[in-house]
Structure formats: structure tokens, C-alpha cells
Amino acid sequence: MSTGSSTDAADAADAADAADVFDEPARWRAQAARALDLRDDELIAAMSPGPACPAALESVLTAVRSAGRPVELVVDVGAGVGGVGEWIRRRTGAAVVAVEPAAGARDAASALFPALSVRPGTAESTGLPDDSADLVVLSGVLSLIDDAGDVLRETRRIVRPDGLLAIADLFAAGASSVVSGPNVFRSFEQVTSSLAVRGWTILDVGCGAPAPSSRWAAAATRVADWVGRAHRDHPAFDAWLADQRHLRSHVESGDVVGGCIVARHLAMGTLP
Ligand SMILES: C[S@@+](CC[C@H](N)C(=O)[O-])C[C@H]1O[C@@H](n2cnc3c(N)ncnc32)[C@H](O)[C@@H]1O
């Protein structure tokens, strides 16, 4: 069990660097989901137990419903195993493109959520056409990336005029970024300022518990326990576990909070 000290966090980050925690472990999580016969929202929760979920996703849904025009194409960037994209797809009826760099996560997402259109790419280079998305979602991704500028440039390129962006993540509880291991936890103020200077209007800033709801966490725990029993001797398992401890140490220390920022990029001519 992590003590939450900075040494633990540094050790955990080193271990996490040793293997891609989003690749092979994603395949194991898909195996676990099949073995446990998880379905519907329990499957989604187990695959995407993001901070403040599902409340963070509800705020995205509210923005979609008040968008004033249909949301037909959603791009889930850094989609992982695809739970968030599938949650939004089921509730909006939109087509969802899941862009994900890790092959293991892409394979798992395709197998578990066949209605998603899964493709390789990164947040800095999605490979998608200009002005194509009605909504871009970054769930748990921005905090893994040093240069938010490249991500926001790419997001702006692919979102259509008047389109939406949702950033669900862990954020710094204070005014300054928390830089730790593979993560940069930015403050709400830092992210909303970066968006505002790039022409985004902030529609909603929701702040919540840094952990998912107990129901979502329980589903993820069932999967983690199954993975532990089946794969604990694999070298990537230690890295995966270390990454989870690293995140938990921040949650327990209180230096991060969960949240979701929803913004709209106003088209020229629609400025108030
Ligand atoms: C914490 S997981 C979140 C997955 C999913 N969005 C969710 O909420 O369940 C972070 C994901 O971001 C992906 N990722 C890491 N760096 C990325 C980058 N530069 N661009 C896009 N995705 C990235 C990882 O492969 C991983 O699948």
C-alpha cells in the first residue's frame, strides 16, 4: 500500500515508465471483462473508472443537449479501452471515433465496444479531417501530456466551428500545477485560461471527488482483482500497479480533484 510520500510517487512513476501501462494491461482488462461477464454500464465503468465519473460525464451530456444543434460525430481522444466513448455514444446516438495510441487499448476497445470506430492516433496528431467533430472529449489524457498547446491546437483544428470540447481529468487542487511522475495536473484556472486565449468559451467547470462513484469504482476493482490473479507475474503488471498507486497517492494527499471543463469554440459571426 502506498504511503503517499513523494518518494513513493517518484518510485511509482519510474516503474510506470518501464512499461506501457496502457497497452498490455488493457488487453488483460478486456479479458477480465469477458471472464466476469460484465455488461452495459458495469462494463463501461470497469473500463473507464475516471475521476468524478459518472458525474463528470453527465456535465458533458448537459452541454450536448443544450448545444442547439445535433451532435453527430464525437471524437474520444486518448480513448483507452473506450468506456467513456461508449457511454456518450449510448446516450447521444452520435457516431464515436475513438483515437488511441496504444495498440492493446485499441484492440480491447474494438472487442468490447464494436460500435466505436477505433483508430490509431494521438492528441497532438489525430489524423482526422479539419472541422469534423461536433464534440471532442479528452478524458484522463491532458494530465499525461507536457505540452497542452499542441493538444489544444489539434483539438481546434478537428472541431467544427461552434463545436464542443470536454476535458475530464484530475486537476490541481491549488493554483499551481502538480508535476509528478508521468503526470502534469493543471489547475482549472490554467486550463480555462489556455482555452480562453484560443477562442474557447467556457460553458461549465464541474469540480468533484477525485475518485469515481462507489458503483464505478466497484466495477473497476472486480477487474483489477481478476487481472491481479491472472497476470501478477508479468513485468507490465508491476508497472500498472505502480501507476495506480501513484494516482491514489495524489488522491489521498488531496493535492488533486476530479473535474470536467466543457467549452465551445464560437464560430466567427456568432460572437455575442
Ligand atoms: C488514463 S487513460 C484514459 C482512457 C480513457 N480516456 C478513459 O477515460 O477511460 C489515458 C489514455 O491516454 C492515452 N494517451 C497517452 N498519451 C497520449 C497522447 N499523447 N495522445 C492521446 N492519447 C494518449 C493512453 O494510451 C491511455 O489510453
Q: Which of 144, 146, 170 to mutate to test the pocket of ligand 1 (most atoms within 8 A of CB)?
A: 144
Q: Does the CB atom of residue 154 touch ligand 1 within 6 A?
A: no
Q: Does residue 76 lie within any of the structural domains?
A: yes
Give the count of domains, the chain: 1
Residue whose cell numbers read 483544428:
157
Looking only at the bridges linking them, the beta strands covering 200-208 and 256-265 are: antiparallel
At residue 67, the pLDDT reads: 83
Task: Give the integer Cα–Cα distance in Å for 152 and 126.
Answer: 12
Q: Looking at ligand 1, which atom is closest to the CA of residue 78?
A: 22
CA distances from 29 to 33, 177, 222 (A): 6, 31, 10
Task: Determine the distance separating the centroid of ligand 1 and the alpha carbon of 204, expressed in angstroms.
Answer: 22
Average pLDDT over residues 171-181: 96
Per-residue pLDDT band at 268 (split at 50, 70, 90): low
d(CA 73, CA 133): 5
Taking the C-alpha atoms of residue 219 and residue 41, their distance in angstroms, rounded to an integer, is 9
Block residue for cell numbers 474494438: 110
**Do you know the residue count of the chain?**
272
Show the cell assigned to 62. 448537459
- The verdict on the CB of residue 85 being under 6 Å from ligand 1 is no
Cell triple for residue 118? 477505433
Residue nearest to ligand 1 atom 13, measured at CA: 78
Local confidence band at 253 (pLDDT 50, 70, 90 cut-offs): very high
Asked if residue 188 has its Cβ within 6 Å of ligand 1, the reply is no
81-137 per-position pLDDT tens digit: 999 999 999 999 999 999 999 999 999 999 999 999 999 999 999 999 999 999 999
Is 272 domain-assigned? no
Contacts of 80 (CB under 8 A, 6+ apart): 22, 26, 47, 48, 100, 102, 105, 109, 139, 140
pLDDT digits (tens, 9 = 90+) for 124-171: 999 999 999 999 999 999 999 999 999 999 999 999 999 999 999 999
CB of 36 sitting under 6 A from ligand 1: no
Q: Ligand 1 centroid vs 268 CA: distance in angstroms?
A: 31
At residue 119, what are phi and psi to the nearest 5 degrees?
A: -145, 155
Q: What domain range includes position 35?
A: 6-264
For ligand 1, atom 7: residue with the closest CA: 48
Position 230 pLDDT exceeds 70: yes
Report how far ligand 1's centroid is from the alpha carbon of 237 (Å).
18
| Domain presence at residue 269 | no
Q: Which pTM does this prediction carry?
A: 0.92
The pLDDT assigned to 266 comes to 83
Backbone angles phi, psi at 37, to 5 degrees: 55, 45
Within a domain: 203:
yes
64 part of a folded domain: yes
Residue 1 lies in a domain: no
HEC profile of 126-179: CCCCCCCEEEEEEECCHHHCCCHHHHHHHHHHHEEEEEEEEEEEEEECCCCCEE
Residue 152 resides in a domain: yes
CATH number at residue 226: 3.40.50.150
189 vs 205: CA distance, rounded Å: 10
* Whether the predicted pLDDT of 14 surpasses 50: no
Pairing of strands 183-185, 117-119: unpaired
Q: Compute the distance between CA of residue 33 and CA of residue 168 in angstroms, rounded to an integer.
A: 24
Residue 137, number of CB atoms within 10 A of its CB: 28
Burial label for 234, CB within 10 Å (0-12, 13-18, 19+), is middle
Per-residue model confidence (pLDDT) at position 7: 42
Domain contains 184: yes
